Structure 1
Amino acid sequence: MDTQVADTLLGSLIEGRYRIRGRVARGGMATVYTATDERLERTVAVKIIHPTQAPDPRSPLAGFVERFTDEAKTIARLTHPNVVAVYDQGTHQGLPYLVMEYVRGRTLRDVLAERRRLNPDEALAITEQMLAAIGAAHRAGLVHRDVKPENVLVAEAPTGGAANLVDSVVKVADFGLARAVEASGSEEQGNQLMATVAYVAPELVTDGHADPRTDVYSAGVVLFEMLTGRVPYDGDRPVDVAWQHVDRDVPAPSTLVSGLPKVLDELVTRATRREPGARPTDAGAFLAEVQMAREDLGSNAHTAVLRRITDDVVPAVAQPTMAVAPIRPTERPAWARLPETKTGRRSRTTGAPDRPHRRRAAPQGDNPWARLRRQLAAAPPGRLPLIAAVVVVALLLTGAGWWFGFGRYTTTPELVSLTKAQAESQASRAGLSLTYAKPRYDAKVPRDSVLAQDPASADRIIRGGTITLTLSLGPDRLPMPDVVGKEYELAEADLRHLGLEVVKGKAQYDDNLPAGVVLDTNPKPGTEVNVGTKVTVVLSRGRAPITVPNLVGKSVTDARGALQQLGLVPVETYRDSDRPKDEVIGQSPADGSSVEKGAEVKLEVSKGPAPVVVPRVVDMPCPQGKQVLESQGFPVVVQFNPNGVVRFQNPGENSQVAPGTPVTIGCF
């Protein structure tokens, strides 16, 4: 069983403004939390650098905070729909942090972990938005240096009802963070490789140099992984993987996944050339190539379907083929359109302007219905009814085949990671029903959030069908919350919401907490407990009905009588004291405390002063003997001749008596 370590930042308030609510993810350099901006009342993401990445001021990395701050200011000026916005920055307990836009969705790494690989349409749609964000950074003079699926966030579409990944919104995060850490390194760390080795460009391995073409290489590797479900190289050690980028060419995706169009191989190959000069100059140039490739794939797929219709006089039920939907420039959002000039659109390979051109309209003879009319007109008169009947039957069969094969299906929406309420709302908008499987514990997914779904997102589902959701029960081990001081009903609700069983213990009187308020719990607050643990809640009964009187200074006899009259039980202990014997010198509970009838009250009683030894003064001159006794605190009574010699004393020598006991001496 995994043990969840308590995070001390949860619930804390940063800069008097950002209340940390939960932990989203923990990476190699930083941890990301969700937080509430209590000033603007909005949810944000807070990324805090790990203590191991924030160096001691005396170390060679002392400039980290300043460089991190400078990078944050530069990133904050980078405004683009596909870039995770940066709102604020600062330090908390010596650790730098960024306050960023909170993107509701998953990382591309999570998507690939679930789907393994994407179809070309989805891979190109994600690549377009990813390159749009990186291209904006390149135009602002920034190089990302760490492009990888973990830094690409896939959020739900603006419409709130995205059917598949093509409709999702992609945002890129962590611009400049690797550069801030890398720039703070010492000379010994100067060659430290900050990018993830699976996506690192060869020039970063050999000489540590990075420019926009470095990001293009990494984006090409990400596209390769989306198409094939794996990265180009692996090895036992990170350094072995890194040097494979230097020594080998990235293979074409179609060598691993058969049937991929050749244009996708060309895109990956162009972006991952080992020589930087052979790649597109920056993300904007690579974006132009990706968009034109996507248009070409869509156009080719459309043409192939037309040919299949025109080649057959009687249409047949066609099997589904993989086709990439064409995206016209006018259909793209403004931030994703190809930049155009007065002379035409950008070149596919260099980004330079091409001569303007238009698609030629298909000649009349290429129209499938025109061809069908010509063939019907040329048919012998006696066969026309038969051909018409065959055409009608074929059309009916085609329509029925389309309906049962495709038309009655829709695409399953992405519901994983949503709360139960959000999932129900999105399923309702899509016209789908929900059913729930047995929930499961999960250390990362919050309670009552969707842990899994069946069918999976982007799979086919019958319109009006049912999706089975598995909800999370949260972690199966959690810290015992502190409910002391809460009303019982509120404390019980809090504990049961965490999956804990609540039982009432024996209520106790308390001078500070009113009746009905939680006085104590077992287990104690902060103790790690399993879900389902039985928690005993002790409630306060308020102040007890009897007030303990002040007994100090009274004789033990008087104190005993006063307590017995109140129905309380005296318990006496004796000790030496300079106070008179049998005088009460202490009590517990203290006076003014409240107790119930029959309670014990402990009394400390004086045994009197410790005895002292009477010295010998016999045979001393009477004045000298008197002086010795008085010097030790004994009152002296002289009998007979005050100027004589001491012949007897009472008490006698070496007797143990109470301090201040009178001593009689007889002098002759």
Structure 2
Amino acid sequence: MDIQVADTLLGSLIDGRYRIRGRVARGGMATVYTATDERLERTVALKILHPSQARDAQTRLPGFLERFTDEAKTIARLTHPNVVAVYDQGTHAGLPYLVMEYVRGRTLRDLLGERRRLQPAEALAILEQMLAAIAAAHRAGLVHRDVKPENVLVAEAPSGGSGNLIDSVVKVADFGLARAVEASAEDENGGKLMATVAYVAPELVTDGHADPRTDVYAAGIVLFEMLTGRVPYDGDRAVDVAWQHVDRDVPRPSTLVPGLPPALDELVARATRRDPGARPTDAGALLAEVQVARDDLGSVSSAETAVLRKVDQPTMIVSALAGPGTGAGGGERPSWARLPGPAERTQPGRRRAEPQRAESLTDRVRTVWAQLMADRRGRRAVLAGLVVLGLVVALGGWWFGIGRYTVAPQLVSMTKAQAEAQAEKAGFTIALGTPRYDEKAAKDVVLAQTPATGDRIVKGSTITLVLSLGPERYEVPDVTGKTFDLAEADLQQLRLTVVRGPDQYNDNLPAGVVTAVDPKVGSQVKPGDKITVTVSKGRAPLSVPPLAGKNINDARNALAQLGLTPVEEYVDSDKPKDEVISQSPADGTGVEKGAEVKLKVSKGPPAVAVPRVVDLPCPQAQQTLQGQGLAPVPQGNPNGVVRFQNPAENTPVPPGSQVTIVCL
């Protein structure tokens, strides 16, 4: 039986002003409701962060609410007809919320789910308005970072025509909320990747860097999906999809949908270059290219229409790629989403009249020429003009063809400092492209340059350098204490090959937890290196008994009863002979049956050679023996001279042994 939990926010009054009327959508980060602004009597959209997201963000970043407020204020200042406007912000029960413009329509994701893919004219019309909104954000210094169909709203066409996407009004959402949440993740994780992997730019994957060209890349992927009905890459894991953006070029849409014009292939390729420097600089630059491409496609469509008219089949005339600027329903299209009007197009089939006017202009030129050539001064003026014109043409041709060009200097294999000095000396400026790892070149050495060495280049222009990051090396992370699956994921993120070694018993860590890695933590490794991981089997079934201080025979018996094997080593010691001095493993250590226990056993104290004390005075002899650790036993006259000793001199005896001396 399904149990549906009621939404407690429905019908509630937020901040004494916004009455929640219904739920529009629920995403992974926030829920969107329709609400009535009871102060201004208008319908708005209210987006409120999920409690789990808010708690996580505030835990990671104590100033999250202030950051969220600042981001909302920044987006509220971004006014553009294609941007979903932000009216207000605040908190309700500790949850941040945004009050936004309510757009009556569907997301681009909904449209693609319904229609799978769009016609080229529809795709370009939607993309134009998307780029107009993103370009406004770029001019304000903002980067969206999460351009995708879910964040593009397609409202009803100004003409009111049903199903007419060419004249629909497009609005881009989520400039603010996603960025505010993402900021908390950046502070905690050092630039954690937040963009949707299907649309993520390569530079976000490799170094977490985002600028306007990141949004250009994502817009190119959205265009690809609108034209083909799918994204270029997929995979079982998000990280696999993300790295395909780094390692592969986006395929041309026409390879999936035959018959698409080459101009659309080129547009997608330009927007999705893996090198950010090869893309349009921002959304405004891409918008200009989209409009040029659409105009070119419109010309092709007009030519096709003319051919159809020529064969007298008017009922088959279809405008395949573009319509008139007023839209299907006759409503005026906004200037910010301009499509070319009829006056801007070449009308096929219409002949330009007024041949008589062109002919009389020719006659007039001939008359003026005859008058000039009939007069000597006129002929001189014409000659001088021709000479000056020839000089101007020659100098201009030389300058534009040869004079302003030089050859690009050799900068490859230089260090960054050397290349900059060489370029400055030759009058060039330097730009840096995306660096890459190289096994042979040291860090900051130039790997490549554009234009290449010896290519023609305008004097004083810019040379783009690709620098080496040096050999790609990583430190082995500390994964001890983690489960094997988590440790394997951490190591595979560094593209290391994980090998699970034999599991071992461990008294301190439970079964399934990593106890050691080889090479050890902190060692330098390169992608593809093998890392052997040792995993705990848990505590061993037997415990080593305490054996130090026991006789070796007793120790042997104790180990034999547990099924353990003693390994004995006899050493010099002042302990009694055959006494166990130390053991390894220590007592209490867990081991399995048959394990070896190493024992150090005393050989007993080393023997002492009895010194010669015969002929020494009795007191002196006693002192000599005591100095050797022996116990003298005097007999006879205590003040006499030693005449006899037992044991005899040089006899080895244990320390503390008695030596009898007879004094006379």
TM value normalised by structure 1 = 0.49
